[in-house]
């Protein structure tokens, strides 16, 4: 995701399960292209270090752009999307841009998108301990965090309200929503065995997603049905508002008649 865009999608073959289509999302510098290259075992995407600043606030325009890019990816993937790896970096802090991206995913594609998400952490070479230690250390116990009310912020996604104590707590929430499907990547390692192992770990998560969804990829049909549901809901809201307005108008007219009679 460059600024607020999604730029990497591809297909790869799994010997036992056929072709899989993935769409990687994440902010600039998180390692989407490097991760894609690691998965494919070749340099298919340009990967470079980025020193560009990320936005500190999320706007409607950015969220709308993210959604358009996601729709474009769905249209490009004719056979549907089997999994959506969301790429974070252990080197950086969780940003407003990433909050906006996750909100957009759930706002425009509904809760069903959670069934297709996998969390990929890059920068494994920077970890001093194990991946599990990182999650325990950097993502504190929610009960302990609740004591830190001064750091509270609220993110609203569609009809869902997500209360976040600090940015890393949101990562915990993302992990929970996607069934704790996560994998750590070290895209700089020259250890071929390690590179194969981390790709196999990701592939196993992808196969978990495929199995969970009954082998059915996320297609534009899901999105069309979601839009139909949203349109029906909006029509009902407009109908209710119109009814309320008519009732209010009728009440005022009756009140005026009573006043004139008195």
Summarize pLDDT for 153-201 with one digit per residue, the tens. Answer: 333 343 444 444 445 566 777 788 888 898 888 888 888 898 899 999 9
The number of beta carbons lying within 10 Å of the beta carbon of residue 240 is 10
pTM: 0.62
Q: Which residue has the tokens 């108008």?
A: 249
44 vs 10, 11, 33, 38, 51, CA distance in Å? 10, 12, 8, 9, 22
Q: Which of 69-78, 210-219, 229-238 has the highest mean pLDDT?
A: 210-219
What pLDDT, in 10s, does the model give residues 191-226? 889 889 999 999 999 999 999 999 888 877 766 665
Structure tokens at 3: 């600024």
Instruction: Please choose, from the candidates 149, 130, 146, the residue with its C-alpha nearest in 3D space to the C-alpha of residue 138.
Output: 130
8-215 — its CATH code? 3.40.50.300
Domain boundaries, the chain: 8-215, 219-262
Name the pLDDT band for 92 (thresholds 50, 70, 90). low
């Amino acid at each position: 995701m460059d600024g607020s865009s999604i730029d990497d999608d591809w297909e790869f073959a799994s010997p036992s399960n056929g072709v899989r289509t993935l769409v990687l999302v994440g902010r600039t510098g998180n390692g989407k292209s490097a991760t894609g290259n690691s998965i494919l075992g070749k340099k298919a995407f340009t990967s470079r270090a980025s020193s560009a600043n990320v936005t500190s606030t999320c706007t409607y325009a950015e969220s709308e752009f993210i959604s358009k890019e996601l729709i474009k990816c769905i249209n490009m993937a004719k056979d549907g999307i089997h999994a959506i790896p969301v790429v974070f970096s252990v080197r950086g802090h969780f940003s407003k841009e990433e909050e906006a991206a996750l909100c957009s995913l759930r706002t425009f594609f509904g809760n069903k998108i959670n069934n297709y998400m996998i969390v990929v952490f890059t920068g494994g070479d920077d970890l001093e301990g194990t991946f599990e230690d990182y999650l325990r250390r950097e993502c504190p116990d929610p009960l302990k965090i609740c004591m830190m009310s001064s750091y509270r912020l609220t993110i609203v996604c569609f009809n869902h309200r997500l209360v976040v104590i600090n940015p890393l707590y949101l990562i915990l929430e993302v992990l929970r929503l996607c069934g704790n499907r996560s994998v750590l990547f070290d895209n700089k390692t020259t250890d071929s065995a390690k590179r194969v192992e981390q790709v196999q770990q990701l592939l196993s998560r992808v196969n978990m997603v495929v199995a969970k969804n009954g082998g059915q990829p996320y297609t534009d049909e899901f999105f069309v049905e979601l839009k139909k549901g949203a349109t029906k809901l909006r029509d009902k809201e407009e109908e209710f508002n119109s009814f309320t307005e008519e009732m209010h108008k009728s009440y005022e007219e009756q009140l005026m008649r009573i006043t004139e009679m008195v």
